[in-house]
Structure 1
Amino acid sequence: MDENNPELKKDPDDTSIEEYQLGELQKELEETTGALDSNFIEDFSNSLSEDESALAYQDLKKFLALYEEKKKAYIEEKLLPLQQKGEELSHSINTKKTNKQIRSDEEAFLIEHPDANLDVLQAFMDNDMTKAEEKALREAKSVKEGLGLVYNFWKQRGQVPKEKDLPKKLDASHAVDEEDSLALDVSLPANRR
């Protein structure tokens, strides 16, 4: 495995690709918006049936309503997908930046408190915090500050890490009733006696 390979060190929260795509999309959106009226007029005039063309002379209100209806549909067809893609990219960028900031705050917190265990603090937050502590946590300005509060609350309560409950030593034999032993397939190594 090559440790200098940039693919192996790729940051999962890198936003450079999405930011580039968003910039290109915004340019395309501006171009599309700028050309929208001239392109629509050409498309509209080419798509009119004889009856629809006659409306321009017979009933101007109906013709203008038809024009506005088709223009709205044209705008939705041309601009809506670009706008939706832009919103998706913006959301992705914001999510990645938030995740990166959270990870950075967690790392900074762990450097300051090397004895802290984020899983233990999470369990404490989920199960043992008082309403006043939860309120103080909601008012924290950053993840690092919030983790510091939770850590202090946890230490004030005298919480100490518990040793994990380890499984009891297992015997290699299976506990089987005599009645069930007849049903065992003795061709399997685990079922042989």
Structure 2
Amino acid sequence: MAGLAKSSKVEYVKIIKDGPSKQAELIFTGLTFIFGTLLIVFAVVPTIKTVFTISDEIKEKERITVALKDKLKALTSLDEQYNEQESTFDDLSLVFPTSLNFSLLLSNMDAVVTRNNFILDSIGFSEYKKEGFDIKTASLEPYSVRISVSGKKVYLMNLLKDLEAMPMYPVIESINYGSDLDENGNTNYSLQLMIYHIENVNFYD
């Protein structure tokens, strides 16, 4: 019995000695968990957010890069098209002149009239004064052309079609003619046309 009592006494003493140690271990474990959690919240989470932010920025830069490449490709294509059509653009200054130089119109007009068995008797230019006319362009301005031709009535429709098919895009607005024939059996026709020009003299510079 004395031995058993002594053994029990030793166990009680051990429990008393180990109690604070276990408590300290639990406290340490709890604090470690808390600090670990705080580390995740205040360190890892912002890092993850930063990673996502950087990823979004990279995607945006990639999108901008692709857009810039597309624009550069489009500009390069336009430059190539311009080089291919440069001579055509140069002719625009004659098609829609800036100094009322209608030399291209005159040369085409004479050829068209002759080809349709008509004679060009006269041609004149004047400012366009038709009221209520409103052209839907920023640079082109209308101008009036009146021509007098002589020929057979049977050829008239072909002449009108060829006139409006010229590269200057003239528009026939009116036709006047008389019933009298000349000594060659031709009828005299007076045609009013509208053509276009550009008032800005520096337009093609």
Give the TM-score normalised by the residue count of structure 2: 0.24
Give the TM-score normalised by the residue count of structure 1: 0.25
Please state which structure has a larger fraction of its residues in helix: 1
Q: Which has the higher contact order (CA 8 A, sep 6+)?
A: 1
Please state which structure has a larger fraction of its residues in strand: 2
Q: Give the number of the structure whose alpha-carbon radius of gyration is greater.
A: 2
